[in-house]
Chain A
Amino acid sequence: MAPEATQETMDEVTPHLSQECLTFTLGAEEYGIDILKVQEIRGYEYEAVTRIANSPEFIKGVINLRGIIVPIVDMRIKFSLGEPEYNQFTVVIILNVNHRIVGMVVDSVSDVIALTPEQIRPAPELGSIMDAQLLTGLGTIDDRMLILVDIEKLMNSPEMALMDDAAAELAGA
């Protein structure tokens, strides 16, 4: 049985069960994304990335992931979070959204947290910085605030320039 199916049916049937999120940091901020969209976590090999001409700054290029060509985006550049560093601690989260595989460079990855609905607050309008549609809420664990992102919507959005317009429409961006 597909894990997604279980997740959805479970959410419908028992809304009090929690949603599992992978948390990662970009600069000083912590983000959380649906764990089911994460395929794997890798280190970032700078030399292995092939640049793609005339693409936005945040699209670093493509890599060979066991025979598949996967684009890599650097969210720190996308969100203008200062100068990104590329060292042995830099992590790439490989996502599988809508059968497309995309890699996302982040500063570091933390744990997988199960958030109960009580811990999630609605996201305020952040204006132009990030489209509120992309946020599913703000989570609170102790003193930490997790910015919960709908990673699928984010990757499919036209501003990410990862997909052609036609494909983006199909994906319902």
Chain B
Amino acid sequence: MTVDMSQFYQVFFEEAGEHLSNMENLLLSLDIESPEQEDLNAIFRAAHSIKGGSATFGFTDIAEVTHILESLLDRIRNGELALQKDMVDVFLRAGDILKDQLAAHQNNEESDTEAARGVCEELTRWQHSDESAAPASTAQPPENPPPADTDTAAEQRYTITFTPSSSPAEHGVHMENMAAELEKLGAVDILAEGSAENPVWRFALTTAAPEEAIREPFDFFAQPADVVIEPAPPAQAAAEEEQGYGFFTDIASPEPAEEEAEQGYGFFTDVDAVRKTAEEEAQGYGFFEKIEPPQETPPTAASGGGAGRRDVGQPKGDAASPGKRPSDKAATAAQTESIRVSVEKVDQLINLVGELVITQAMVAQTANKLPPDVYETLQVSLSQLEHNTRDLQESVMSIRMMPISFVFSRFPRVVRDLSSKLNKQVELKTVGEGTELDKGLIEKLSDPLTHLVRNSLDHGVESPEKRLAAGKPAKGTITLRASHQGGNVVIEVIDDGAGMDREKILAKAKERGIPVSDTIPDQEVWQLIFEAGFSTAEVVTDVSGRGVGMDVVKRNIIHGMGGRIEMESHSGAGTRIIIRLPLTLAILDGMSVSVGGDIFITPLTYIVESLKPREEDIKTVSGRGRVVYVRGEYVTLLPLHEVFNIQPVVAEPQDGILVLVEAEGKKVALFVDELVGQHQVVIKSLETNFRKVAGISGATIMGDGKVALILDISSLVRLSQG
């Protein structure tokens, strides 16, 4: 069948990716001593699904690895082999190899065959770790029902002779897919392959399907006359057949339905090899690869295991139709009702709703000017419209919201690998995994969080000896916590390690020429570590110490996501890093302020408070402008009209309003004419058609249709520091 399979590749890659993450999570949470049966089954199913799909698409390298993987998994879940910690390590590494292979296929690159081969060998060794003698291919797990010797009455054996009227070379690819198609109908034997001398192909097919169904795949590229289908007597070597196919065993097994589910893998073995020994089915991924039988005795057991696995059968007997993926689909379908939608469509939807909100605000503003008594019904309707629009907006934004567990899920693995590498004992706790945030933020959060966790592991948590000496438990704890607070998502990375060393940081800062005094508050000291290249590590390891990570964190979180970072640390007790992110990137809650008639939007997340100062509280500091005394501290005054060169309506701070904002640990008082209101605004890019403006992070369209500029608080704070 000349169906172009590549259109289905993307779906396969996505689903295989999901299976792999699922598998990894389950592996990490396995209790080595007494693993949960359902977990083992789920891991097995994941590997099985990947294998099926990869074989269908001809990704033989993936199929190879997954095949051995699932053989081993099968033995474990049947209780034949005991699970051991090192096995889990191998499984995890196999998962990594599979990920690479998937990526390689996706990007049309070469994958690392050496590594794959290494993993396969290891897996195979584990598989036979309890076997003393080399088993014959008949070695099958004891629980298996003995394979039936004869075909069931419903199935008929056919001989298909195909004489291509055009060159065999042309049909080479067709034949492979062809063979896959025939697989789906039943057990296939290749009796003769077409070649230059003799282009005739002969297959033996055992199937319950009617002749028309058999003929169907050929119809796509062959003349009906070229294909001859005759019923044939049951094969003499029925026993061989059973064992011979590894993947199509139990041709006549009591469960033909689930059989068919497994047919779709397109595994072919060279007929001669099959006839000789029953060992090659495991290797037969390359459709018509000529496999040298004698050399490959070791994998015999693998195939034996493979055959055995099939006999046990899948718990879910899915009445599969050709082209349907194996029965796992039934299980997954039952768990979640969901649709795959491309991200562009969702983004488009969000943009349109954003525009709708703006338009609705404009209508509301215009309507507000009308006399309320005359236009009462209009006002009521508009009020209703506003409710509907807000609800619509919330619903649409929630489409892009995903639970933060997507980010947290990779950390057990990171912590596990890193802690064993650093010889530290660390336990990872996650709290609030269900907290949802925007998909775009999730992707951007992954890298910075990884840096922070690695830092905690490397610099924060001490070695077990040090911890015991300090009276702490040998096992350190790193906690990832996520929650909603106000209009923000708050993510915390907490460790109970040694805490940050204030003196060391100050010393390093002075060394690097950063102007700091010894009396600056802790909060400001911690912020110093964000300087590029800043590190107090004595030794640079490949984990950390170069002074790069925190810079990346700052850039990604603060500038990339409009978030904020705070840190708390106590020497000897631990460190807590708090990241605050807005709920989405596109919409902003802001306070609009007026300066000289121009409207500016201040993001709400940065605002601490707004106040009308008293004249006495405004002090001048020669050379550094003015400060205002607020709640026991002196805060720098930053008149926005000076920053933006606007003629203000109000000249003196005490006649205007001060908006106290905080960014990067520092507070600044913005001096504006007046507060206008609080709005939820849609962020529009200024840089699409214009250049970057200092102190401005973007623009928005207000209810009256005019453009208002959104303040970039971080850069304003930096500006005020001189």
Which of A's residues lie within 8 Å of B, judged by CB? 47-48, 50-55, 61-64, 67-71, 100-102, 161-164, 167
Assuming the contacts A50-B598, A53-B644, asked whether A71 and B689 have C-beta atoms less than 8 A apart, the reply is: yes
Cα of A52 to Cα of B701 in the assembled complex, Å: 15
List 14 additional contacts besides A67-B358, A70-B689; criterion CB under 8 Å.
A48-B706, A50-B699, A50-B706, A50-B707, A51-B598, A52-B690, A52-B709, A53-B644, A62-B690, A63-B707, A64-B707, A164-B687, A164-B691, A164-B692
Interface residues of B in 672-702 (CB under 8 A from A): 684-696, 699, 701
Query: A100 contacts which of B355, B688, B705 (Cβ < 8 Å)?
Result: B688
Nearest residue in A to B693 (C-beta to C-beta)?
Answer: A52
Cα of A163 to Cα of B701 in the assembled complex, Å: 22
Cα of A100 to Cα of B699 in the assembled complex, Å: 16
Whether B645 sits at the interface, judged by CB under 8 Å, is yes
Assuming the contacts A52-B693, A53-B693, A161-B691, asked whether A69 and B644 have C-beta atoms less than 8 A apart, the reply is: no
Cα of A61 to Cα of B705 in the assembled complex, Å: 15
In the bound complex, residues from chain A placing their C-beta under 8 Å from that of B687 are 164
- A166 to chain B minimum Cβ distance, whole angstroms, is 10
Whether B643 sits at the interface, judged by CB under 8 Å, is yes
Cα of A163 to Cα of B691 in the assembled complex, Å: 5
Whether B103 sits at the interface, judged by CB under 8 Å, is no
Cα of A61 to Cα of B695 in the assembled complex, Å: 15
- Establish whether residues A69 and B695, one from each chain, have CB atoms under 8 Å apart when the complex forms: no
Cα of A70 to Cα of B699 in the assembled complex, Å: 11
Nearest residue in A to B704 (C-beta to C-beta)?
Answer: A48
- Establish whether residues A48 and B355, one from each chain, have CB atoms under 8 Å apart when the complex forms: no
A-B contact pairs, 9 of them (CB 8 A): A48-B705, A51-B646, A52-B693, A54-B694, A67-B355, A67-B358, A69-B684, A102-B689, A163-B690
Whether B708 sits at the interface, judged by CB under 8 Å, is yes
Q: Considering the complex of A and B, which 5 residue pairs feature the smallest CB-CB distances, nearest first?
A: A53-B644, A50-B707, A71-B690, A164-B691, A64-B701
- A77 to chain B minimum Cβ distance, whole angstroms, is 17
Nearest residue in B to A96 (C-beta to C-beta)?
Answer: B689
In the bound complex, residues from chain B placing their C-beta under 8 Å from that of A100 are 688-689
- A96 to chain B minimum Cβ distance, whole angstroms, is 10
Cα of A61 to Cα of B689 in the assembled complex, Å: 12
In the bound complex, residues from chain B placing their C-beta under 8 Å from that of A68 are 684, 688-689
Nearest residue in B to A71 (C-beta to C-beta)?
Answer: B690
In the bound complex, residues from chain A placing their C-beta under 8 Å from that of B705 are 48, 64
Interface residues of B in 14-59 (CB under 8 A from A): none
In the bound complex, residues from chain A placing their C-beta under 8 Å from that of B701 are 64, 67, 69
In the bound complex, residues from chain B placing their C-beta under 8 Å from that of A162 are 690-691
In the bound complex, residues from chain B placing their C-beta under 8 Å from that of A164 are 687, 691-692
- B571 to chain A minimum Cβ distance, whole angstroms, is 44
Nearest residue in B to A100 (C-beta to C-beta)?
Answer: B689
Cα of A53 to Cα of B691 in the assembled complex, Å: 12
Query: A64 contacts which of B598, B688, B706 (Cβ < 8 Å)?
Result: B706
Nearest residue in B to A47 (C-beta to C-beta)?
Answer: B706
Cα of A54 to Cα of B693 in the assembled complex, Å: 9
In the bound complex, residues from chain A placing their C-beta under 8 Å from that of B644 are 53-54
Cα of A110 to Cα of B222 in the assembled complex, Å: 68
- B19 to chain A minimum Cβ distance, whole angstroms, is 41
Assuming the contacts A53-B695, A62-B699, A69-B684, asked whether A101 and B689 have C-beta atoms less than 8 A apart, the reply is: yes
Cα of A127 to Cα of B687 in the assembled complex, Å: 32
Nearest residue in B to A53 (C-beta to C-beta)?
Answer: B644
- A18 to chain B minimum Cβ distance, whole angstroms, is 30
Most buried by A among B646, B691, B705: B691
- Establish whether residues B645 and A54, one from each chain, have CB atoms under 8 Å apart when the complex forms: yes
- Establish whether residues B686 and A62, one from each chain, have CB atoms under 8 Å apart when the complex forms: yes
Cα of A52 to Cα of B600 in the assembled complex, Å: 11
Query: B646 contacts which of A53, A63, A70, A71 (Cβ < 8 Å)?
Result: A53
Nearest residue in B to A165 (C-beta to C-beta)?
Answer: B691
- Establish whether residues B688 and A69, one from each chain, have CB atoms under 8 Å apart when the complex forms: yes
- B336 to chain A minimum Cβ distance, whole angstroms, is 36
Cα of A100 to Cα of B707 in the assembled complex, Å: 18
Nearest residue in B to A103 (C-beta to C-beta)?
Answer: B689
- A72 to chain B minimum Cβ distance, whole angstroms, is 10
In the bound complex, residues from chain B placing their C-beta under 8 Å from that of A63 are 707
Cα of A161 to Cα of B598 in the assembled complex, Å: 22
Cα of A134 to Cα of B701 in the assembled complex, Å: 34
- Establish whether residues A167 and B689, one from each chain, have CB atoms under 8 Å apart when the complex forms: no
Nearest residue in A to B682 (C-beta to C-beta)?
Answer: A67
Cα of A62 to Cα of B643 in the assembled complex, Å: 18
Query: A69 contacts which of B643, B690, B694 (Cβ < 8 Å)?
Result: B690
Cα of A67 to Cα of B359 in the assembled complex, Å: 10
- Establish whether residues B689 and A53, one from each chain, have CB atoms under 8 Å apart when the complex forms: no
Assuming the contacts A68-B684, A69-B685, A69-B686, asked whether A62 and B691 have C-beta atoms less than 8 A apart, the reply is: no
In the bound complex, residues from chain B placing their C-beta under 8 Å from that of A70 are 689
Nearest residue in B to A54 (C-beta to C-beta)?
Answer: B645
Cα of A54 to Cα of B642 in the assembled complex, Å: 10
Nearest residue in B to A67 (C-beta to C-beta)?
Answer: B355
- B99 to chain A minimum Cβ distance, whole angstroms, is 35
Cα of A29 to Cα of B22 in the assembled complex, Å: 71
